[in-house]
Amino acid sequence: QLPRLCDCKRNRIIMYSQLVVALALAPVSGFVSKPALAPAAPQRAQTTQLQMRTSIIGGNWKMNPTSLAEAKELATAVKAAAATGPGEAIIFPPHPFLGPVGDIVAGSNLALGAQSCFFQDSGAYTGAVSASMVKSLGVTYVLAGHSERRTLFKDDDAAINQKVLKVIETGMIPVLCVGETKDEFDANLCESVCAIQLAKDLAEVPAEAVKKMVIAYEPVWAIGTGLVCPSDTAQKVHAFIRSKIASMYDQATADAVRIQYGGSVSPESVDELMAKPDIDGCLVGGASLKGDAFGRILNYE
């Protein structure tokens, strides 16, 4: 006959048994400490969303440089810098330089872009260049709605919409530029202006095409004026543009489209801009004409 345990020993055994059972049934995460650097779930979700959109930096040369020799030299320097950049890179030379510059960047990760094109295929349009012409030179991206085209050359939203549709039809990718003037910004009309431009310029553009295209937010008042659009302000506008695309199409389209910031981007401002969650790239003007400065922008940190 087994000896009878005293009440105190029996109680201790019962307690130990209950503790063993509790340990066996408890989730492991409750007893194993997490690594100090492990990200929380929301951060992982955000990282996944950002990784969906490859960053894209564009250099708009405008009516520069003044000779083919200079254009070739600049293209060679930018090509070398783009090789180490974290995302996609594009240069937009003037039309006369597209062929020679295209030969230099061919086969690299530096894409060739055109600053504009006309929405007609051919005909009596003196001075115009068709989408098929620039595509035949190796162009992948085409600017549409740049503020200088809107103001200096009177491109209206109807013409911009036709250009966007023609670029897509020809198998290239439009970079649609939207943004407000200083007066509109001071009157708190930034979101209204961007919403109207998006609605008109993307008329009849299907969601699948929007997912692949690029939208560039250009605060006109910050282009070549010395005025600076704070990164928090730029992020707010980018978030609005993404929400507008979601309302026009759906959230999947809004999450996929890449939105650049364009407005006196410099080596000093690019890192702060690119750290914002809705800024997927930059459209660079003056700084893209300097190989070292644009190289630093392409290799933002």
Q: Note the pLDDT tens digit of each residue in 288-298.
A: 999 999 999 99
Catalytic residue, candidates 88, 146, 180, 238: 146
301 as an active site residue: the answer is no
Catalytic residue, candidates 88, 148, 180, 218: 218
Residue 228 confidence (pLDDT): 80
Mean pLDDT, the chain, integer: 87
Confidence band (pLDDT; 50, 70, 90) for 51? low
- Given a cut of 60, whether residue 284 has pLDDT beyond it is yes
- Given a cut of 50, whether residue 71 has pLDDT beyond it is yes
- Given a cut of 80, whether residue 29 has pLDDT beyond it is no
Q: Residue 142 to residues 54, 69, 145, 149, 171: CA-CA distances in angstroms?
A: 18, 23, 10, 13, 11
Mean pLDDT in residue range 236-251:
98
Residue 225 confidence (pLDDT): 80
Q: The whole model's pTM is what?
A: 0.83
Residue with more model confidence, 189 or 27: 189
Mean pLDDT in residue range 87-96:
98
238 as an active site residue: the answer is no
